[in-house]
Each structure stands twice: as structure tokens, then as C-alpha cells.
Structure 1
Amino acid sequence: MKKILILTCCLAFLSQSCQDVLKEEIVSGITPAYYETAGGFEDAVKATYQPLRTWYGTQRGFTLTVFGTDTYTRGADGGYKFVNDYTPNLNSGVDYFRDLWNDFYRAINTANTVIDRAPAASIAEDIKAIRVAEAKFLRAHYYFILVQTFGPVHLTLEETTKIETTASRTPVKEVYDAIVKDLEDAIAALPATQANYGRATKPAAEHMLAKVLLTRAGQPTAAKPDDYQRAADLAKKVISDYNFKLLPNFADVFNQARQEHEEVVWSVQYTSDLITNGDGNSGHLYFIMEYDAGHKGTMRDVANGRPFKRFKPTMYTLDLFDRTKDSRYNGSFKQVFYANNPATLAPGMKIGDTAIWVAPTNISAEFKAKKNYRIIDRAEVFSSGNYRYFPTLSKFLDPLRPSVQDERGSRDYMVARLGETYLIAAEALLKAGKPDEAVTYINTLRRRAALPGKEKEMEITAADLNMDFILDERGRELLGEMDRWFDLVRTGTLLERVKKYNPEAAPNIQPYHVLRPIPSDQIDRSGGLQVFAQNNGY
């Protein structure tokens, strides 16, 4: 399938046609009439996708969704440790909150432009309906992240054509109602597949609406009685009505050589073309331990990655996996680094031999003394002051980068994959009072994760199923995949689980941390706190 290349500028709409790689054609002096041409309208739709790249696969996106949860705490490096630690530096002046707000509202206005200008656009009506549905899908997606992050936000569903100096915080119920309406409209008009891989589709919208309803159901002021059942029905439809399937091997889900596989419901596109890839998918940087200094036989290389060591797994995370029957520990973590530096080899070590082993258990001193390679065992991983050495999350590693220091990865970012669809179905069914049906979806996912011959042992019963188990299972399946902070907020467990499992964050986290601070510049340009109130606690 052909990819839609997400363009690098929301305002300068670029190429006029969809090729395997869309060619940029810089357009200057855009007038309103341009949007009414077929090419201008198509470019506006393409530009609505671009801001996804400011969030998915970026340090900003990972920091605001992975950090400060039960699964990940701070590593050695990075300037945003306060996001994990919930210190007073987590405030309305942080650029990540400001940039998220600004980028997504620009995206929303681009989507509004597409929707408002569609009636006058000179394009075939059947194609126009699909493109408008894509814009509604994307607008819903941007608002969904904003409302989960900030609570009541300004809701605008019309194109901004002049300077506006007023804004207000729309109640959460109205924001969710708008999101649901957009997704319902998108589902009605989108096809099951698109010629350009990466465009929104009907199953992608159904998956997203299921997740939205699952989230809205936990909002007392916004929930509707049938939200859980509707979420379950939509997730079941995605699983059964299309050509998606779980890959037999969990690790294959993240095989960079075959990214467009049967488990991907929808992904954000990146490319190996450095001219059009922008900053790229930089997820490969943040979860790697320091393997390239202080060890015999190792040096930094493209295959092993550039170790920013931002995010360190918690003890809870490493205890999630029963390694005797669950393949997802080995499928998620890189535990061995091989000798690649002839200048620093240990005695008896050759290039390609084990240089570092990050052991999942404690290893005796006697065993370590017999080996010429470095063994970092569980005791060292969780020793006081160690933020450099830990199992490396392998899901986002990118050995296809052009050079050792290059940060611009080319992996697509899977926003929706079938593994999560199964988890959404299970959670919604459990909440709808149907644990016997819910457990069938959990067990299908767990059988896929089983080591050969261990499928039956991985199954659970309905009596075993509760929200703690589902959160644990989401941790095992979706570790690091930019869901965890939202999961804990959605289920009302952020404070409890952070206090229990994240020792660096536990002393400071407060109830008000279930929302992020409204950016100060948004408050200032809207007339101050009397007009655009700050979230409690900030």
C-alpha cells in the first residue's frame, strides 16, 4: 500500500498528488481561493496530519505519557525529571505543555478549514466526503489528547479567519460530545482501507471511538449509560469485521523491516528520506541504558543506538512478566550487548562475544567472577543512585538510522494496534458486567504472548479478572507505547499506583496532578485567570 507522507508545514500546503513518496511543491502567497481547488483542498487535508509528528515518537510525547507513572521513572539524563517527580517545576510555564497546546490547536484549525471549505472545493463528491471524514477523525484525535491532558479546553469547530483575543474553557461533557460526533461522522464516511497507507480508515475511527467511550465512561459529568457497551461493540467490530489479526510472535509486532503488518490499525508515518522526515521518530533514544562507556568491549554504534537513558523501568515493570511462560519480557527488552570495540576487549573476549548482560534476577558473586563480561543484575539495577543501567526497551530501536549520532528515526509510530483493541474490548466488557466474555479477549492476547507450549498456562479465569489485572496486562502488552499516564488517569489509579511503584515520584504526587497545567501564555492571551482559569493546584 502507498504511504501518505505527512507534510512539514500546516500553512504551506505542498504537493498536488499522492505518489509513493509525495513530492514537495512549495506554495507561497496562498489565498482563500486556493482551498477551493482540488489540489489546495487535498493539501489542506494532508497538512492536518502533520502535527501528529509533534507528538508521536517525540521526547515531548513520551515524557508526558510514560514518565511519572508506575511503569517508568527517571533515568540518568534529561532536563524534564520534574515531570516524573511532580515537583513545583511541573508548572504552566513548561514548554512541553505550551507547545502541545499550540501545535494541536493549529492542527484543529487546519481541520476546521478543511471542513468549512469543503462545500466550495472543486473535487469529486465521493472523495470530498472521505477527506472531510479524515479531517473530523483528526480533529477528534487532537481534542481527545487535549481534554485528557488539560480537562476543560476551548472548543472551536469553525475555521479561524481573523485574530481572536477571547477564549473559554468548555465543559468536559461538551468536548467529549463533539469528539464522539466527529468520530461517528467519520465512521459513516470512511472506507475500510485507503490507497495511501496512513490515512484514516473506518476501523481506525472505530478503534478510537471505542477508546474515547471507554474514557468518557469514567467521567461523571460526561458519561452516558451505554458508553461501556458501545466501546465493547466497536472494539469487537474492529477485531472481527476486517482483515486485522494478531501476529503469532509478539516481538514481530515491532520488526522495523515489516511495519505495515496485519496488527496495525493505524499508524503515524515517518520515512527514511531525510529531506521530508523532519525530526523523525526519536523514540529510539530515550529507553536505552548506558552501554557505551565504562564497559569492556563496547562502544556506541548504530545497531545498539544512541543512549539518552531518559526513562528507567520501575521494579513493578520488571516484576510484571512471568518469564517462564510469557514471551513479552524478551520481546520487549534488549538484555545483551555484544562486544564491538576491539580497543577495549576484556581478556579472552572477541568481537561478537557477550560484553554486557542485564540479568533479570540477582546473580551470585561467584558466577560473576567466572565471566569476562559485565553482569548487571537486579540488585545493581535497583541499587541506590543507579540511573544508568537497566533493561533497554527494544520496541523503538532504529538500526536503520544513517549514522551513529543521527536522532531522526524512520520507524512508523503505531497509534492503534489490534493488541490494544483486544484490551479495550476486555475492559469495556468487564465494566459492562460481562466478565465471562471479557476474559475471552484477555486470553486470546495472552495465548499469543505465550512461550511455545505454555499457551494453556497463560490463560486466566473470569474470577481472576479485575481492573488491576487489566492494568497489569496493558503494562505487559503496551509498555512504553504512550498510553500509561492516560490509562492511570482514566482508571482513577494514578496516585495509588505512582505512590506504590514509583519511589522518585511518590513523595510529591498530589490529587491535582491528574490534569496538567494550562499553559501560561494561553491564559495571558485570553485575558488572564479571571477569564481562562488555571487547573487547581497550579
Structure 2
Amino acid sequence: MKKIFILLLALSTTYSCSDFLEEENLSNVVADEYYLTANGFSSLVNANYGQLKNIYGKDPWLFVAGTDLYARGRTAEPPGLSEYTNLNAFSEGVDQLYKACYAAIQTANMGIYFSEKTAQTNVLPHQIGEIKYLRANSYFLLVQTYGDVSLIKDYIQDTQLSFSRNSAEEVYQFIIKDLEEALPLLDNNVYAGKVNARAVKNLLAQVYLTRGYETYGTNDDFRLAAQYADEAIAGQPLSLTYERFWTPENEINAEVIFSVQYSVASSATSPLTLGHPQGSYFGPYHGGSEVAGKAPYRTYSLCPTQFAIGLYTEDDTRWKATFMTEVYDRYFDYFDKPDRSTLKVVHYYEPKWHAGDATYKAQYIAAHPGVEYHNYGTYAAENNPNFDYQTIPVKKFDDPKAQFGKNSSTRDIILSHLSDTYLLASEAYLKLGNTTLALDRINEVRRRAGVQNVTAGQLSIDFILDERAREMLGEYNRWFDLKRTGKLVERASLHNFLVKQANFNGNNGLLKILRPIPQSAIDLNKNPDFKQNPAY
């Protein structure tokens, strides 16, 4: 029997300021006895959802840094994760998912353990399905990020200081088993913040698609990825405009499949720390609270690269829906003022289709006296400016109710949505050689964006990656997209000014694709046979 180790699994079954978790006063009731009640077990299920905030609600380096779409503007990113040159087991941020996912897995294992002992209610099967989904999601993040990892299937009630690594193939098998067992336990109700059958099908599509690229993957993986993606789509067209989909306070809508839930009430006791930082990335610093409410806080890191900016065309509605192309004297007037026709524009970011057009520039400046006009090609991350507003702001994550502070946003973090599923299906069908269905799925996304259909001669994995960039800029998936498709080295070194192809060269003639196992885990492990990933 494999010995396993639980590293840094500090559990908390209550999250004092989470709307997802109703904190109970346990007084003198022993926790184990509490979980044997229906209310107690429900609180344990909620604790599993609460772990999502630890996984996704921190700095997003492991999700998006070191890719083709984002690089620093003025504020440095962790060099290991963003540039690969100094990536090692001690690197800043490399342990974030390792710790958070294993903490979530321990909480899920606790839920499965008590599900066999707690009061048998009508909702218990559904709750078990929710927990299995959440455990599978954690393992999916781990196996993509670190490769071979320890499979911990049982609730550990004491500390064990020895563990072994299971093969990535074994981990994928376990993920799929959890999800397939969860599927019949869950309903097909409209998404309202909790796991449903559609979310499981969507994650199965991602898992099968990703495994299909591995050496142990098969063509059947791509077939199942396409099947589950289509089942998740269920014939639903993209009916919301892109702008409407990303409108603040519209995070629970018909196209959202799964998300991490936040609320203003849940962060009321500390509004600058109990939210998340997604809204503070992907744009320039512009004064924050120092400008008396005129502008939001930004980190000035993870700014869009010139490559990312150049992916859009004039007819693409996602350009203006993604970026704040015109900044008003008070930034949040964009959201707060129904009529913006008389508002003063202080910054304008010239799009690619007007680049070099002196007449257009002169007319725009004449119509907006005092505006700072940013020429196309001057406001990307690689221009490395040192002043506020010198890179283009990404507005799709802006939170008008949480304007200041890095960790103040209380908008939900959307993890999967319908247009993403259409693109997953397109990729799976392309890998199967079914160009007709691949085109059908991707062109539904392009139809909504207002751009021309892609043709069979244009369609490729690179085109799908470009489309995913246009559709999902700033969402927490880019590193995984590039790793899955085998394009990480090629595209990061081609489009990110901080990354050279040689930066990926690691030990033993291997590339630094997988992240290293955190040194803290290795140091605490008593198993002498535990090995670091071979590139490190």
C-alpha cells in the first residue's frame, strides 16, 4: 500500500466571510458528530466550495504568466514563472496550486468519508457528486501543472510524512472515474452557483481533450472530448452579446457553466482583502485610490502583449468589450453613466485598423480636446512604459463596487462558459479530422463576435489558440491551453518579449514544461525514492 503525505493541509471547514459557507456555532459539539447531521454535512460541502477561493482567488501566475498573451508593464512578475530562466523548486509562486489543490483534496476526501456516515437525505447523492467534481478539478490542475503527483483517495486523519508519486496516466484515470461517478448523481438544472451535470460534462471534455495529446492518450479521448462538449452545449447558441456576458453583476447568466462565487456581503468585514485580484491585473497602474475615485487599482503586471492586441479586427465586437479603448476622466463613468456622449475622454488607444492614419488621428483629437492619444504599437507590455495609463486597460473584469485594492473584487471568477465549450469541441473535432464539425463549432463563436467564418484552409490548432485568445483574454486558462497543445515553447518565445526559447532548457536535456515540485514538499517527505521532475 502506498504511503502518502499530506503537505500543508491546514483545513478550515468554515470560511468566516464566505457567502458560500454559512458559518455555524458548533459550541461544544464535536466536529465529527456535527458532520453526521444533515446541516453539518451541508457545511462540509460548502467548505469544499470555499476551497475554490484558495485555488483561484490568489495571484494568477500559474494560470497565465509566461505565455504569449501577457507580460509585465512596469511591475515585475515572478521571474521563474514568467521567464523560465530561473524556474526551480524554490521559485516564487510555484507552490501555490500544489498547496491549495491538496488542501481542497483533503476537504473533498473528508466529505466523501462522512457521506457514508451522515444522515441519509434526498440531497446527499447530489452533494457527493458535487464533491467528486471538485476533487477531480483539483487533480486536473495538479496533473497538468506538475505531472506525476500523489493520488490521495482517502481522508487522512493523522499526519503522514511519506508519500509517493503516481503516474500522470493513473491520475487521469482517477479524475475520469470521479467525474463519471458524479455525472448520474447530479441534476440538469440551470446553473445557479453549484455543480450540475453540465459542469461535469464540460470538465470531462477538457480532461479527455487534454489526455488525448499525451503519449498514453488515444484517438478515443478526442472522440469523448467532442461528445461531452456537445452534450454540455446541448444545442444552445451564443445568444448574449460578448459585452453583455461580461457586464458586472451578470456573472450568473445562461452561458456560464461554472464559477467561483463571491459577493459584496462576504467581504464586508475587510473589503480590500477578502475579494480576489483578477480585476487588478491585465492593465496599467493609474493611480488607484490616489486619484480620488477616478480610477481602479491596477498592478501593472500581466499586461497584454502586442501579439494579443494585434489579434483583433475592426469588425470584432470583442475588441471594445474586452478593452477600455476610451478612458473617461472618471474611469468608472463607463459603467455608471447611461449617457456617456458628453463625458471627457482623457485616454484613447488607437486600434490596428487606424494605425498610421493621420487624418483619423487629427479628427479624433479635435473631437476630444485634451485627450492623450496612444498610437497603435505603443501601448503593449513590451513597450515597458513607466507612467500611468501607458498600456491598454482590460475592462472585462472591472468591478465598479470594488474600485480600490488588489484583492477587492467581488465579481465571480468565471472558470468555464459556453463559448469556451464550443472552442473545446472545435479543437476535439479538428484532432479527429472532422473539419466540418470543427468549423461549425468555432464559427458559432465567431458569429457572435461579428467576424467572418473561418474556412477549412484557415483552420488549425494555431487558429483555434488565436480564437481562444480573442474570446478568453485574461481568463485563467492560457498556460494550460499552450501546454495541452504542445505550443508553449513556440508561442511564448515568439510573442513574449521576456521569454527566449533557450529559457526552457532544463536538466537532462529536457524542457521546463512541467513546473517543479515545490522544495518544501520534498524536504518534508521521508520517502527517499521521491524524485523531482527531471528537467529541474
- Alignment TM class, shorter chain as reference: 0.7 to 0.9
Aligned partners of 1:21 and 1:472: how far apart in 2?
A: 35
Q: Residues 165, 312 of structure 1: CA spacing in aligned structure 2 closer, same or farther, 3 A cutoff?
A: same
Residues 262-281 of structure 1 correspond to what in structure 2 (within 5 A)?
Answer: 262-273=254-265, 274-275=267-268, 279-281=274-276
| Residues 17-67 of structure 1, C-alpha deviations (whole Å, 9 max, x = no match) | xx98764224366442322221221111111111211232431xx211211
Determine the structure 2 residue equivalent to 1:360. Answer: 351
Q: Does 1:249 align with 2:238?
A: no
Q: Is residue 213 of structure 2 the alignment partner of residue 218 of structure 1?
A: yes
1:463 Cα deviation after fit: 2.5
Match of 1:478 in 2: 472
Gaps of 5+ in 2: 1-9, 332-340
The equivalent of 1:377 in structure 2 is 375
1:186 to 164, 182, 185: 182
Whole-Å Cα distance in 1 between the matches of residues 386 and 485 of structure 2?
29
Q: Retained in 2: the 8 A contact 1:37–1:121?
A: yes
Unaligned runs of 5+ in 1: 1-8, 342-349
**Residue 116 of structure 1, aligned match among 88, 109, 113:** 113
TM-score, normalising length: structure 2: 0.86
Secondary structure of residue in 2 paired with 1:508: helix
**Shift of residue 76 of structure 1?**
0.8
Q: Say whether residues 1:85 and 2:86 are aligned partners.
A: no
- Output the aligned Cα RMSD: 2.7
- Residues in 1 aligned to 2:258 and 2:188: alpha-carbon distance in whole angstroms: 12
Amino acid at match of 1:216: R
Q: What is the aligned length?
A: 498
CA-CA distance at 1:444 after TM superposition: 1.0
Question: 1:27 corresponds to which letter in structure 2?
Answer: L
Q: Secondary structure of the residue that 2:448 maps to in structure 1?
A: helix
Write the distance in 2 (CA, Å) between the matches of 1:82 and 1:300: 33
Q: Return the match for 1:321 from 296, 303, 312.
A: 312
Question: Is the CA contact (8 Å cut-off) linking 1:269 and 1:413 kept in structure 2?
Answer: yes
- 3-state SS in 2 of match to 1:414: strand
Cα 1:379–1:434 change in 2 (3 A) is: closer
Q: TM-score, normalised by structure 1?
A: 0.86
Aligned to 2:404: 404
1:421-476 CA-to-partner distances (Å, cap 9, x unmatched) read 100111111111101111011111100000xxxx5xx1122222111111111111
- Aligned match of 1:160: 156
- Corresponding residue SS for 2:213: coil
Q: What code does the residue aligned with 1:391 have?
A: I
Aligned to 1:5: none
Q: Residues 178 and 303 from structure 1, CA distance in 2 versus in 1: closer, same or farther, beyond 3 angstroms?
A: farther
**Aligned mates of 2:415, 2:325 — CA distance in 1:** 26
More displaced, 267-276 or 208-217?
267-276
Cα displacement (A) at 1:315: 1.5
SS in 2 for 1:416: strand
SS at structure 2 position matched to 1:381:
coil
Give secondary structure in 1 for the equivalent of 2:285: coil
Question: What is the DSSP-based 3-state SS (H/G/I as helix, E as strand, rest coil) of the residue aligned with 2:93?
Answer: helix
The equivalent residue for 2:335 is none
Q: Report the Cα distance in structure 2 between the residues aligned to 1:86 and 1:386, rounded to whole angstroms.
A: 23
Q: Identify if the C-alpha distance between structure 1 residues 162 and 57 changes in structure 2 by more than 3 Å, giving closer, same or farther.
A: closer
- Tell me the SS of whatever aligns to 2:347: strand
Q: 1:14 to 1:39 in 2, by over 3 A?
A: farther
Closer/same/farther in 2, CA of residues 240 and 387 from structure 1, 3 Å limit: farther
Helix, strand or coil: the match of 2:234? helix
User: Residue 328 of structure 1: CA displacement?
Assistant: 1.1
- 8 Å Cα contact 1:299/1:340 also seen in 2: no
Deviation of 1:337 (Å): 1.5
TM-superposition CA deviations, 1:267-307 (whole Å, max 9, x none) = 110010124786212211112213349xxxx9735563112
Quick one: distance in 1 between partners of 2:79 and 2:327? 27
**CA deviation string 1:402-425 (max 9, x = no partner):** x53473111011111000010011
How many Å separate the matches in 2 of 1:385 and 1:11?
Answer: 42
Q: Which deviations, in whole Å up to 9, do the C-alpha atoms of 1:230-250 show, x marking residues without a partner? A: 110111111126xx5423311
CA distance in 2, matches of 1:270, 1:57: 10
How much identity, in percent, do the aligned residues show?
A: 32
Structure 2 Cα separation of the partners of residues 142 and 86 of structure 1: 24
What displacement does 1:94 show? 3.2
